[in-house]
């Protein structure tokens, strides 16, 4: 499997390391290595952008879900308090 085919499956840390290595090779590598590094850098940058975009979207979705859960919990507590107050205010039936 070629390196450029593996890029989409890499983690953010792996991509950052690969990017740093490619940048280092461009500065001090052999001609063939420089060509490969220059070819891979845009692919790495694109993969990092996509990964970070997905991470932000997941975080936003998680935040919305959490806010809904919190609102539902507050509504349940308010309904419970209201029911308790109504029960306390109702005359005892004996």
The answer to whether the Cα torsion of 64, 70, 76, 82 is positive or negative is: negative
Q: CA nearest 10: which of 36, 38, 47?
A: 47
pLDDT per residue as tens digits for the range 42-89: 999 999 999 999 999 999 999 999 999 999 999 999 999 998 888 888
Q: Is the pLDDT of residue 5 over 80?
A: yes
This prediction's pTM: 0.67
Dmax (CA) for the chain in angstroms is 96
Pairwise pLDDT comparison (63 vs 92), residue with the higher score: 63
User: Given a cut of 70, is residue 92 above it in pLDDT?
Assistant: no
């Amino acid at each position: 499997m070629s390196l450029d085919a593996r890029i989409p499956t890499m983690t953010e840390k792996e991509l950052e390391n690969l990017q740093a290595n490619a940048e280092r090779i461009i500065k001090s590598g052999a001609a063939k290595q420089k060509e490969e590094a220059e070819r891979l850098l845009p692919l790495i940058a694109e993969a990092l952008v996509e990964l970070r975009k997905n991470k932000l979207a997941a975080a936003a979705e998680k935040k919305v879900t959490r806010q809904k859960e919190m609102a539902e919990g507050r509504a349940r507590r308010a309904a419970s308090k209201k029911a308790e107050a109504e029960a306390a205010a109702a005359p005892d039936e004996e």
